[in-house]
Copies of this chain bind each other. A is one copy, B any other.
């Protein structure tokens, strides 16, 4: 898939690494904050700190976009805001639909930062007739029967799925059939989509489980270290350590699904 070899010096190289793309929004946010404070230029070091990364990484990232900095000086804030916005496709507006107007769907509909960057909620869609027509975030909820028509009429290419897990694949299939090519999935389901459709997944429960893993490891390390190391670990670990033990190995448990 990589474009063989890129002769052109920079300025328009195809194929920005995915890891870099995922950080561009962070840089953009930090830059926007600087812009609002009318800061004219910023060094890679300062910007990196604001974005929560290290400066070598930031410079490498920017090098994929082109040479937008000035040696000895830094980056022009407004200019960079524009370049990154353009690279991310935020100079155009992106209508999105939210399917599944439960607690989460409604919360997202109300979420302000949504509209801020070129994203516009074109419609809220739900399968429940009792929901249809109700006002959420100042907007009428449409019935899922009209899904295809809404997408076509508004030229929507991004869909957000906030249905229960059981409905997600079905909704996904309809979205894709209707022309959607990017999906943000909040349902706890692995969606299968045809080639050419992007799916990103946001899953609260997965994030918590990852945190739990590290949390547990901290407690275990603390125990193993015989509590004689640096006393930098906060109180919770200490309190928790007792419960963390579970029989380190051995007997097969009474595992319970439900």
Contact = CB atoms under 8 A, between A and B. Distances in A.
Interface of A: 11-12, 21-22, 24-26, 28-30, 32, 35-36, 40, 50-52, 76, 78-79, 81-82, 85-92, 94, 96, 102-104, 106-108, 110-111, 113-114, 116-119, 151-152, 155-158, 176, 179-184, 188, 190, 192, 194-198, 200, 202-218, 232-237, 239-240, 243-244, 246, 249, 252-253, 255-258
Interface centre among A151, A198, A212 (most CB of B within 10 A): A212
A182 B214 contact: yes
Contacts of A21: 210, 213-214
Given A89-B212, A255-B78, A257-B76, A237 B157 contact: yes
Interface centre among A94, A118, A218, A255 (most CB of B within 10 A): A255
A197 B87 CA distance: 33
Contact of A52 (B24, B190, B256): B190
A167 to B, nearest CB: 14
A210 B25 contact: yes
Given A88-B212, A89-B217, A117-B209, 14 more contacts: A11-B249, A89-B244, A90-B209, A94-B208, A102-B107, A111-B204, A152-B235, A158-B208, A181-B218, A181-B233, A181-B234, A183-B211, A184-B208, A198-B215
Contact of A211 (B110, B113, B184, B194): B184
A88 B25 contact: no
A208 B86 CA distance: 14
Given A104-B107, A213-B87, A240 B155 contact: yes
Contacts of A257: 32, 35-36, 76, 78-79, 81
B110 A243 contact: no
Contacts of A81: 255, 257
24 contacts: A12-B249, A22-B210, A25-B206, A25-B209, A28-B209, A50-B190, A82-B252, A86-B253, A88-B209, A89-B213, A103-B110, A114-B204, A114-B208, A117-B209, A119-B212, A152-B235, A155-B236, A157-B236, A182-B211, A182-B214, A184-B204, A184-B208, A194-B232, A196-B233
